[in-house]
Amino acid sequence: ADGKPAGAFHVHDNGGRPFKVEVQWPGPTAEVQVFKSLQYDGDVLPSYEDRACVSFSAERVLVGRCPKHGAIFDGNSVLLHVGGLKYVFIGVVVFAFTAKSRITAYVSRVGNNDVPYPWAIDEQGWRYLMIESVVLSSKLFESDADPYDLYYDRGLITAQTHTVPPQEPKMQFQGIVEFWIGENQRGLRYQTRPEVDFECRAGQGEFFVVKGDPAAKIKLSKDDYVKLMHDFADEMGFEPLSVETLLERHI
């Protein structure tokens, strides 16, 4: 356990450091202030605004640590336990969410291009994937598999044809073998917000799936698409993470 981590932490975002998080413990709870970066001119750290853009009182502060890179990457993201089952994530965005049970551990692996992949686990074994806003059931984990790797692997509904070789789904869902938008075949993967995804892409053409017979395209309405995603989530042990965005991404 971290105990009561204090000091300044700098959130990572694709080489940038968009937020500085200052943590102090004047008493039993932490005072946490978040500062936005100013113009980044290539120095090791940017300068930050003088006044915090948002602040929190927290019972626990979970500092995101990257096992591979060590202490220099500590605080690449931060998770606050603000009380009860309410938590605040501070990363490329800042959002609040309610956990299913008490969160017991938090990891913030940093991948290629200095992009953090933060996740938490609660007492019931649910994994919370912060940058994907999804929760994964404990039933998916027979080992210490990285939850992001597992999610990206199992989130496929049809083959990703643009990869070499094509990435195949782990299982065939409802017999679906192809997904089309208008005249273009696309890869289909799970979406946590299917209503928004449908609206964003509806201008590209109508949605279709193919089940076996390539000549028989089945048109999907918005309701069909949303239900498909919900059914897939139920089958796979995924749940969307409902979040309240407090600060948008800041470059």
**Containing domain of residue 87, as a range?**
7-153
- Together in a domain, 147 and 60: yes
**Structural domain includes residue 144:** yes
Beta strand pairing status for 184-186 and 178-181? Answer: antiparallel
Which 3 state secondary structure label does DSSP give 130?
coil
For residues 100 and 173, give the distance between their C-alpha atoms in angstroms, rounded to a whole number: 27
Span 107-129, mean pLDDT?
95
Q: What is the pLDDT of residues 151-191, one digit of tens each?
A: 999 999 999 877 778 889 989 999 999 999 999 999 999 99
Q: Are residues 103 and 20 in the same domain?
A: yes
Distance of CA 183 to the CA centre of its chain: 31
Among 119, 153, 187, the domain-final residue is 153
State pLDDT tens for residues 209-244.
999 877 789 999 999 999 999 999 999 999 999 999
- CA 135 – CA 182 distance, rounded (Å): 31
12-44 pLDDT, tens digit per residue, is: 998 889 999 999 999 999 999 999 999 766 567
Element (H, E) at 173: none
* Nearest-angstrom CA–CA distance, 77 and 117: 9
Residues 6 or more apart whose Cβ sits within 8 Å of residue 194: 225, 226, 228, 229, 230
With beta carbons less than 8 A apart as the criterion, state whether 186 and 176 touch: no
What is the spatial distance between Cα 210 and Cα 194, in angstroms, rounded to a whole number?
Answer: 19
The last residue of one of the domains, among 108, 123, 153, is 153
Q: Is the pTM of this model over 0.85?
A: yes
